[in-house]
Structures are given as structure tokens and as C-alpha cells.
């Protein structure tokens, strides 16, 4: 006996939802905060957020964002 049409659709949607949930879990685990520095010669380096240099860069970036976010008084 062939499966009912609505079961085929339900199984397909359920499979897509499972794959999407697995993708989100993988992204959450692999995504860690980092700072990327670009040099004038085109070279770049990544600094982990939990390293000393990375922590200093996050503090400096936060200060720059605060300063840039303030609207100039007219």
C-alpha cells in the first residue's frame, strides 16, 4: 500500500527542519568572537576574543563604536 500524500509532505518538511536545526547547532559551536586586523600591505590576522591581544582589540573597538555613535551637537 503506498503512503498517503500528506505523510510524504510531512516527512519531507520534517527532514528539512532537522537539517536546519543541525546547521544552526554547528554554526553556534563553530562561531567564536574574534577580531581581524588588516595591514596596509593586504595581510590580515585573526585574534581570538579570549586572547590578550583580542581582549584589548575588543575594548578599543567598543570605545570607537561609542565615539562614532554619538551624534554631533549642532
pLDDT at 70 (0 to 100): 74
> Which DSSP string do the residues of 17-62 spell out, in sequence order?
HHHHHHHHHHHHHH---EEEEE-TTS-EEEEETTSHHHHHHHHHHH
In Å, what is the CA distance from 48 to each residue of 7, 12, 31?
Answer: 47, 40, 11
Return the SS3 of 12: helix
> What whole-number distance in Å separates Cα of residue 65 and Cα of residue 53?
18
Report the predicted TM-score, pTM, of the whole model to 2 decimal places.
0.48
- pLDDT 10s digits, 7-29: 777 787 888 888 888 888 777 65
Q: What percent of the chain lies above the pLDDT cut of 70?
A: 81
Amino acid at each position: 500500500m503506498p503512503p498517503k500524500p500528506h505523510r510524504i509532505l510531512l516527512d519531507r518538511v520534517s527532514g528539512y527542519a532537522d537539517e536546519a536545526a543541525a546547521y544552526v547547532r554547528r554554526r553556534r559551536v563553530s562561531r567564536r568572537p574574534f577580531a581581524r586586523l588588516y595591514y596596509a600591505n593586504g595581510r590580515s590576522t585573526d585574534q581570538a576574543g579570549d586572547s590578550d591581544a583580542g581582549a584589548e582589540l575588543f575594548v578599543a573597538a567598543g570605545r570607537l563604536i561609542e565615539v562614532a555613535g554619538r551624534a554631533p551637537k549642532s
